[in-house]
Each structure stands twice: as structure tokens, then as C-alpha cells.
Amino acid sequence: MKKLFLSILFLFSIAFIAEACRPENPEKTANVDGVCYGYDGGEWYVRGFEQDQDSVVLKHKVVINGEKVTVEEIYIQDYRDDAASPRILVIPKGFKAVAQLYLPKLEKLYISKTVDRTHDICTIMYACFYTPNLKSIIVDKRNKDLKSEDGILFTKDGAYLLKYPAKKAGKEYSIPNNVKSICYGAFGHCELETVYYPKQKKGIENYEQFGLSDPYEEAVDNLGFELGKTKFIGR
């Protein structure tokens, strides 16, 4: 009963927060050079792509309907598995937030130094990333809030593990000792066989707040793993 309640609460939280961010039908839309934009609350944002592309470098400044506008956020929520998607995406200087990133064919993601949040870090990270073919994440070393280590996305201090690329090569992973919180769905679609975790820790922050004593045994599904397919070993 406890697990059922937590699952319902978790799903409700995702739906509520995601809906509060950007409407499914924005006030205005525009397509420029294959990139789809939406307008809501006085801001333009990236909302998708017209067709599959090999590589896309987004633009911070875009001319829409004859007017030069500033784009700082990515909010792509096309949930279809065949949604248009680039294989490589570069988020350049000037962008500040990745609120939703549903790109089923994305393999490599480059994040510039100015992206300072991925929608409140762990709050809705499960909803934030749907990238089942992602192999690597690279963050500009000058970024003050985020970093990548071996293609894995962390906060700059290493306390939050934000995203482990689903198609990253290898069958084993050892969670660093300084990780304090693993974001929901951080390991979504991964095919890891074994995950080693720091046994001396009593728990991970985001599980303790739900009253769970052992995240690796009681709630690994929230990390994005399929139960029974991944072995967790304390080291």
C-alpha cells in the first residue's frame, strides 16, 4: 500500500509540475530553419523539430515574423516514439534552462556554460529527459552549475546525479561516493546489469524524504530501472 501511494503521489507530482510549465498549445508558434518555437507568458522557447536531422545547433537569437527575439529555454514535450529528433544537439551560450527534452533519437547532447538548471534539478528530472538512445552528455567546463563526467550529467559539486545516458557503453556503473541524491529517472532506459553504490551511506536524500530506508531495494523503479534486471551491490 505504501509503494502504491508513493507511486501515485510521484506520478501526480510529475503531471502537475509539467502542466504548470508550458501549455500543450502555446499562444503562438513558428518554425525557423527546421526548429519549432512556441510563445507563452511573453517568452519564446524551443518546442521541437520539423524533421529528423543529423546535427542541430540551436540559436539563442532568432528572427521570427521579422522580429529578432531571444530564446533561453527548451521545452520539448512531444511524447511520440517517432517524434522528429536530431541525432546530435548543441545547446549554445545564451540558453538558461532545459525544462523538457523528449527526443527519442538523440545520441549526443552538448550543454553550454550558461545553462544553469534542468528545471529545478531533481524535482521533475524523470519528466525532463526522455532520451532512450542517448550515449553521451558533454557540458562546457566553464559551466558553474553543471558538469559531465565520462558522459554522465551531474551538478557541479557532484552531489546530484542528474542523467546517466541510456545507451552509454558498458554493463556496470559505480555511483561516486560524493553523490547525495539521484534524480528520478536518472537511469531511465539504461541496460546496466550491475550498479555499485556506497554502502556506508544510510540512504539517498530524495528517498529519505519519502520515508524509504533503502532506495536500492525499495524504490529502484524511481531511478528508471526495470525491477529485477539490475543487480545493486554495496561496496
Instruction: Provide the residue ranges of all domains of the chain, joining segments of one domain with +.
Output: 11-234
- Cα radius of gyration rounded to whole Å, the chain: 18
Provide the CA 73 distance to its chain's centre, in angstroms: 13
Q: What is the pLDDT along the chain (235 residues), one digit of tens a residue?
A: 334 333 333 333 333 333 345 656 788 999 999 999 999 989 999 999 999 999 999 999 999 999 999 999 999 988 888 999 999 999 999 999 888 889 999 999 999 999 876 655 444 344 478 899 999 999 999 999 899 999 999 989 998 888 899 999 999 999 898 887 777 777 878 888 888 877 655 444 444 433 334 444 444 445 555 545 677 776 7
Indicate the pTM of the whole model.
0.80
Name the phi and psi angles at 216, rounded to 5.
-75, -25
> Which residues lie below 8 Å from residue 189, measured CB to CB, with a gap of 6+?
131, 132, 166, 167, 224
Q: Which pLDDT score is estimated for 120?
A: 52
Q: Which pLDDT score is estimated for 118?
A: 61
Q: Which pLDDT score is estimated for 62?
A: 97
Q: Which pLDDT score is estimated for 38?
A: 95
Q: How far is CA 7 from CA 123, 180, 208, in A?
A: 15, 22, 15
Q: What is the 3-state secondary structure (H, E, C) of 113-151?
A: CCCCECCCCCCCHHHHEECCCCCEEEECCCCCCEEEECC
Q: Which pLDDT score is estimated for 6?
A: 34
Q: Which pLDDT score is estimated for 20?
A: 40
Q: Which pLDDT score is estimated for 22?
A: 60
Q: 35-40 and 43-49 as β-strands: parallel, antiparallel, unpaired?
A: antiparallel
